[in-house]
Amino acid sequence: MSEILRDLNPEQLKAVECIEGPMLIVAGAGSGKTRVLTSRIAYLISRGVPPERILALTFTKKAAGEMKDRIARMVGERQARRIQMGTFHSVFIRFLREFADVIGFPATFTIYDTTDSVSAVKNCIKQLSLDDKVYKPKEVYSRISKAKNDLVTPTPYMNGAEGYREGDRLHKKPEIYRVYALYCQMCRQSGVMDFDDILLYMNILLKKSPEALESIAGRFTHILVDEYQDTNAAQYLILKKLAARPPHNICVVGDDSQSIYGFRGAQIQNILSFQKDFPDARLFRLERNYRSTQMIVNAANTLIAKNEGRIPKNCVSMGEAGEKIRLVRSFTEQEEAMQIVSAIITRMRTDRAEYSDFAILYRTNSQSRALEEQLRRRNIPYLIYSGNSFFERAEVKDVMAYLKLAVNLNDDEAFRRVVNKPARGIGDTSVSALSKAAQEGGISLFRAAYRPDLESFGLRGAAVAKIRAFCDMMGKAAAEAQGGDAYDVAMTLASESGIYLFFKADDSVEGQSRFQNVQELLNSIKGYVEEMHGDYVNALVEDGVVSDASLVQEKDLPVVQLGDFLENVSLLSNADVAEDETLNKVALMTVHSAKGLEFPYVFVSGMEENLFPSGGWMLTEGDLEEERRLFYVALTRAKKAVTLSYAETRMRNGKHESNAPSRFLREIAPQYLQNPLRREDFEASREEDEPRGFSWGSGGSPWRGKVDAFPYARKKADAPGKASTFQGSRPVMPSTDRTSKPPVIDANFVPDPMSSFHVGDRIEHNRFGAGKVLEISGNIPELKARILFEKYGEKLLLLKYAKIRHI
């Protein structure tokens, strides 16, 4: 036991040792939250709490896995395995299967991912003859999702609960309730639940069946919840029910400052008012930051202090002072990327850092492109953590649909996707007719295929025969999937269905790549089966059932079924990257994806208004606070150094956009910034020397007013009232076409230091080409040079920004 408690600081120790009653642990970034959670569980076990009576819930599989590993190291694999630990969704799926009959679902229900759900919603919209230009499937789905999170089921929805109908009418979409009702009916008749259903039906189950509540809640003496600030209403209510019985041994851990999923229904209020829900709750604060330098922690503190309604806490770095946060200004996103890459290369030299010590974070996935290009150009290995791009590939989804259909023949989404792939002569007409038959009977497409009166829906005998042949094949596959090995079943199905050959036969370059993906999917099934078998064997050895892993025979291994694999995959996230994939690579990801991770060196790119914080249009105070928390998360990922960057113009949706530097850059107290923003930075374009709004190639001599261009911009900065430019978060410069500006000559351009230039030097500019220095004026760092360019005439450049080198 002493070993469990040994390395904890006093605050952590208190949080671990308090074993009875409700408690809230507010854990600042990098304060050893996971350590406390795992130590606490280990401590409970050491104090005699049976592991199976501990329920530990996380949001991600990764978090659950890491915690399990760490606990196993403390109390042994054998004990650790008995803990009920997993994601909200995976744990609740288990309960729901157990009590499936109560809520009227087959115990074998399967899970729709978001794509499945949206496409099912789309189908419902079609079936109701609604215009999908008005009723956009994605929008309708998110509306339904919201309602489910609020536990508003179709009937109350229809009857006006929580103002949903009213809201819909306001948005001129009064029929959403009908889509909702139909969608629920469809899911039910398909034996399918979406992600929100898992939480919704869990609530319904606990409400409807006191026996189920008693049974489930009675299993656990201790409940632990990770990332509590991200729970939504549905999760919150489940937790409240499970912990309803005194002494309410529920321990929630989180950080209100890191609540960044409000847009998905997370309620920061849950953590803020935990002590109201449980008046005798004890509050523990973990404020010692072991991750980041003082500079980073202090900077982040000053930023987050701008938010209201926080749980008061004062995070203090236990590390060294550290260096100030750097700010990189650039003209375009390409330049920004270039500078980031250069900084990485420099840092690797000076600090002997490795590629994997770096993360480049951004607000939106689309920002990765420019970064990728520059990284590739410099041959730097990188890894993009973006959505499950592999499982989003059409060919992978096709094969997955076959597998899903084999596990659940009533999965209409899967059915539609593969019924005519490869071509079986079952076209739209046939599927529509089948659809009618299914709708009329309130049954799935698969079941409808066997209706004796199918021909009365306008199908010819030949069409019916083709449909039934397909269904027979799938029926056979389903029988095999029942109790068969996942990999064997998948292989057999892939070849029998013809989908394997379908992809193999395409010998175009893209076709081969698609086939490779299919192969990779099948391999990953094998990998999964082997991993499960490995875990099983390890458990046998650990339990002393066998003395050596090699003694376990193949026939003794448990069958890993296709359904297991599919469920596993559907609950996978983009943080779930194989460890060897991350080796020695620069990490690129959104700030959201970075939550929970840490890196020695962090770059946050795109620090611009309208991007970060995003949503300039209708940015409410609440939205802004969430953006600020998001930036807080970004800063606190760094252990040693942070570099922030922004670009003056950025290509967005095919248009050039100019935005002011992010207000967040001003919200970090300037003493933590190496080169804080000055007022003129918030003014428009101070690119090189041109006055703002200037348009290249607008005909005539582009050099009117060239010499006084920069002073002009500065004068404006000093003008009273001008500060409002950055207060109003609208674009500072209209997107006048800057497309015809002189091209960047060399993207790899490395400028010479500004003090190296002298009158008479022959120089070369990144964009203007060759020229001669006529005059140097001003003092560092405001050093200016008057340069006569061969092609563009005389210009006054601020050397700090100009990309110039000697020839």
Partner DNA sequence: CGGCCCCGCGTTTTT
Partner DNA sequence: CGCGGGGCCG
Q: Which residues does the annotation mark as catalytic?
A: 33-34, 226-227, 258, 637
Cβ at position 417, least distance to DNA in Å: 11
Tokens of 597: 């991770």
CA–CA separation, 306 and 727 (whole Å): 15
Rank residues 34 and 574 by Cβ distance to DNA and give the closer one.
574
Cβ at position 427, least distance to DNA in Å: 1
Instruction: State which H helix or E strand residue 595 sits in.
Output: none
Using the CB atoms, write b or e for 682-693: b if 16+ within 10 Å: bbbbbbbbbbbe
CA–CA separation, 568 and 517 (whole Å): 19
The candidate with the shortest Cα–Cα distance to 729, out of 627, 649, 628, 618, is 618
Cβ at position 631, least distance to DNA in Å: 12
To the nearest 5 percent, what fractions of the chain are helix, strand and coil? 50, 15, 35
Q: What is the DSSP string of 480-538?
A: HHTTS-HHHHHHHHHHHTSHHHHHHH--SHHHHHHHHHHHHHHHHHHHHHHHHHHHHHH
CA–CA separation, 421 and 399 (whole Å): 10
Cβ at position 5, least distance to DNA in Å: 28
Cβ at position 128, least distance to DNA in Å: 15
The candidate with the shortest Cα–Cα distance to 444, out of 403, 402, 411, 472, is 411
Rank residues 424 and 585 by Cβ distance to DNA and give the closer one.
424
Tokens of 81: 């395995």
Rank residues 39 and 367 by Cβ distance to DNA and give the closer one.
367
CA–CA separation, 162 and 16 (whole Å): 40
Count of CA atoms in the C-beta half-sphere (13 A) of 665: 29
**What are phi and psi for residue 360, nearest 5 degrees?**
-110, 120
CA–CA separation, 273 and 684 (whole Å): 43
Rank residues 507 and 548 by Cβ distance to DNA and give the closer one.
507
CA–CA separation, 635 and 591 (whole Å): 10
- How many Å is the maximal CA-CA distance in the chain? 94
- For residue 775, the tally of other CB atoms under 10 A from its CB is 12
Cβ at position 286, least distance to DNA in Å: 19
Rank residues 538 and 573 by Cβ distance to DNA and give the closer one.
573
Which CB contacts under 8 angstroms, 24+ apart, belong to 339-342?
339/645, 340/371, 340/374, 340/603, 340/605, 340/643, 340/645, 341/371, 341/374, 341/375, 341/377, 341/378, 341/380, 342/750
Cβ at position 754, least distance to DNA in Å: 33
8 A C-beta contact, residue 285 and residue 313: yes
8 A C-beta contact, residue 56 and residue 284: no
What is the 8-class DSSP label of residue 324?
P
What is the 8-class DSSP label of residue 548?
-
Distances from the Cα of 749 to the Cα of 472, 474, 586, 764, 791, angstroms: 64, 59, 22, 10, 19
Rank residues 548 and 621 by Cβ distance to DNA and give the closer one.
621
Rank residues 111 and 796 by Cβ distance to DNA and give the closer one.
111
Rank residues 542 and 576 by Cβ distance to DNA and give the closer one.
576
Rank residues 366 and 523 by Cβ distance to DNA and give the closer one.
366
Rank residues 195 and 601 by Cβ distance to DNA and give the closer one.
195
8 A C-beta contact, residue 658 and residue 732: yes
8 A C-beta contact, residue 765 and residue 720: no
Rank residues 397 and 803 by Cβ distance to DNA and give the closer one.
397
Distances from the Cα of 152 to the Cα of 235, 502, 567, 651, 792, angstroms: 14, 44, 26, 41, 66
Cβ at position 234, least distance to DNA in Å: 10
CA–CA separation, 40 and 37 (whole Å): 5
Cβ at position 244, least distance to DNA in Å: 24
- For residue 316, the tally of other CB atoms under 10 A from its CB is 15
Rank residues 595 and 803 by Cβ distance to DNA and give the closer one.
595
Cβ at position 272, least distance to DNA in Å: 15
8 A C-beta contact, residue 583 and residue 589: no
Rank residues 509 and 807 by Cβ distance to DNA and give the closer one.
509
The answer for residues whose C-beta is within 8 angstroms of residue 674's C-beta and 6 or more apart is: 323, 324, 325, 326, 327
Cβ at position 440, least distance to DNA in Å: 21
Is 289 exposed, middle or buried (CB count within 10 Å of its CB: 0-12, 13-18, 19+)?
buried
**What are phi and psi for residue 437, nearest 5 degrees?**
-60, -40
Cβ at position 573, least distance to DNA in Å: 2
DSSP three-state, residue 704: coil
Using the CB atoms, write b or e for 422-450: b if 16+ within 10 Å: eebebeeebbebbbbbbbeeebbbbbbbe
Using the CB atoms, write b or e for 471-508: b if 16+ within 10 Å: bebbbebbebbeebbbbbbbebbbeebebbebbbeeee
Q: Which residues bind DNA (CB under 7 A)?
A: 59-63, 87-90, 114, 122, 132-133, 195, 227, 230, 260-261, 263-264, 266, 363-366, 386-388, 420, 423-430, 571-576, 589-590, 592-593, 595-596, 614-615, 623, 627, 651, 653-654
Cβ at position 421, least distance to DNA in Å: 8
